[in-house]
Amino acid sequence: MNNHSACTTILVGKKASIDGSTMIARNEDGEAPLNPKNFIVVKPEEQVQNYKAVISGVEIKLPDNPLRYTATPDVSPKIGIWGESGINSANVAMSATETITSNSRILGVDPYVTGGIGEEDMLTIVLPYIKSAQAGVKRLGALLEEFGTYEPNGIAFSDQDEIWWFETIGGHHWAAVKIPDDAYVVAPNRMNITDFDFDSPDTLCSKDLKELIHNYHLNPDYTGYNLRHIFGSATVKDNQYNNPRAWYVQRFFTPEIEQSPFDQNLPFICKANRLISVEDIKWALSSHYEETVYDCYGDGTKAQKSQLRPIGINRNQEVHILQLRNDVPKEIAGIHWLAFGPNTFNTVVPFYANVEDTPAFYKEVKEDFSLDNMYWLSGVIAVLGDTNYNLYSDVRDDYVQDSVAAFRHIQHKADQNAVNKADSSNYLASVNEEYAKVAKELTTKLLGQMVMLGAPQMKLRFNLGD
């Protein structure tokens, strides 16, 4: 039943970030290169109460007191909502989901549930009803125990103080870890949690998980509880598809530690050698093993350049960095950084989350191609950029720096002005419109620059002096 097959997640605690904010981020990667997305706000009166999944058919009666929240759903409703990312009006963020791995030992004990919940459903049935990150863990855990799931997933929750990472285990079980404030995590498509302390206040899990491990002899280690060893995988595919992504991001944030891209035991919780910014996270989620032989645009052999699955990939549908700030009033604390399309060629925009609506350029995407929205405009640039990476890389780099600098300049002024506004939500919506206008202008300018650079390189040419 899994329709969205691969993502990459990064989590950054408030003492590990450059400005004291919590940040949870993820590339949403689809099975196919194109799967148009929208950026919307779901108001309480628009939230469904009798929820029915498209894929599994599961029906869930939802509470009647939902909060407003942002989301990035699929444009097509054919396989469900797939809300994926959002911040609610209580300044709680959720990213769902990172597809992870499992093994036959746990699935023999607790099989997947065909009529259970999955990635399609999770944001919609959880985010509108939680007022803290830990509350998100507990609500999703209860839903998982009641309805089961048909796939393995990792889910991130955050508020202004805490980040929690949740992983499903089999059909009905789960475990979650509070990420230390001074740490970061990179989570590719594998079971990620390693050492798990059942007695710690910083862990939560299904109530019988420890007994399950013992009763069914699931632990391959002599001591301790490494959940990746117990419930996850260590396969050749992990060596090519998952572990290298963790290795490369850890190499970026903690370069003094020497590790192999093929190491099955790369750490889960890490400490960076510097404070981490939004720009750092975006670069990592756009990366393709630059300055190594594995870079698809680099100088390695043909076999090396295709050996490892990159992080920035043609199947990136959107990237979100959900930032909850602690140095501003709560009304402007939530920032839903967002970009559409392959991350190697796009840029993120810092949309305020405390709004009633989103800009048309980001919310009125259609399934049919049109340059009247950011999803398809980003796609055109990515396709063109991929034809000659080195030719376009300089104008792409300038575009990224200039656009984020422009957005940050707008944000600094808006942060100062918002405190004096009687209706801050409407004011922030107008700022978001300004972001979208600047994003459209700068992205269109980039496309024009790329066309000018690319036209002389066309093979369809003949000069009289040749």
Active site residue 296: no
Distance CA 317, CA 341 (A): 5
The β-bridge partners of 155 are 96, 166
Note whether 281 and 17 are within 8 A (CB).
no
Residues 6+ apart with CB under 8 A from 21: 14, 160, 323, 324, 325, 326, 327
Strands 203-205 and 173-178 turn out to be antiparallel
Residue 203 three-state SS: strand
Residue 299 CA: distances (Å) to CA of 15, 130, 240, 249, 457: 38, 49, 19, 20, 21
Catalytic residue among 7, 205, 270, 296: 7
Residues 6+ apart with CB under 8 A from 346: 286, 319, 339, 340, 378, 381, 382
SS (HEC) of 57-119: CCEEECCCCCCCEEECCECCCCCCCCCCEEEECCCCEEEEEEECCCCHHHHHHCCCCCCCECH
Q: How crowded is residue 458: how many other Cβ atoms within 10 Å of its Cβ?
A: 7
Distance CA 454, CA 384 (A): 9
DSSP letter assigned to residue 44 = G
**Single-letter code of the amino acid located at 100:** I
Residue 319 three-state SS: strand
Distance CA 197, CA 185 (A): 18
Alpha carbon 403 to its chain's center: 21
Residue 27 CA: distances (Å) to CA of 39, 378, 415: 15, 15, 27
Catalytic center residues? 7
